[in-house]
Amino acid sequence: MKLSRKKLLIVSGIVLGLVLTITVGVFAFSHNAATAQAASVSSASGPSVADAVATRYVEAHYAGSKQATVLKTEADHEHGVAVYDVRVLAPNGTVYVVHVQQSNNAVLSANQAEGQNQNTSDN
């Protein structure tokens, strides 16, 4: 069975059009999926999440009669790692700096803020 040149060009054009349509559709779908995933990841992290993580950490590790309060949050880099330095007033009245990793909201360390008395009963 031999196809005429005209019929062969028509069939080739239809096949090419279908391939292009499918390719564009797949690209558009993957782009939308990647955009949606990036939006959901970025909304789950940030200074407010770091504040909540730091507050829970301080309340769990430093006893006292009050609630922990976030005083200040700053973005920083420590040893090549992006962190939030969250300054928290602990329930015991001491100010701590909690270092929260930006990528996964893990508490890396918590230190008593500089200028805080080591012994709070010296007044």
Average pLDDT over residues 45-64: 86
Position 99 in a domain: yes
Task: Residue 28: give the domain boundaries.
Answer: 1-44
Would residue 1 count as lying in a domain?
yes
Banded pLDDT at 43 (limits 50, 70, 90): very low
pLDDT in tens, 67-97: 899 999 999 998 899 999 999 999 889 999 9
Q: How many domains does the chain have?
A: 2
**Do both 19 and 66 map to the same domain?**
no
Average pLDDT estimate for 98-114: 92
Q: Are residues 23 and 39 in the same domain?
A: yes
Using CA atoms of 17, 20, 24, 25 in order, give the dihedral in degrees to the nearest 10. Answer: 60
Do both 61 and 91 map to the same domain?
A: yes
Within 13 A of 14's CA, how many CA atoms are on the CB side? 5
Residue 60 and residue 75 in one domain: yes
Question: What pLDDT score does 28 carry?
Answer: 59
Mean pLDDT on 40-56: 72
Q: What is the DSSP letter of 84?
A: E
In a domain, 117, yes or no: no
| Residues 32 and 11 reside in one and the same domain | yes
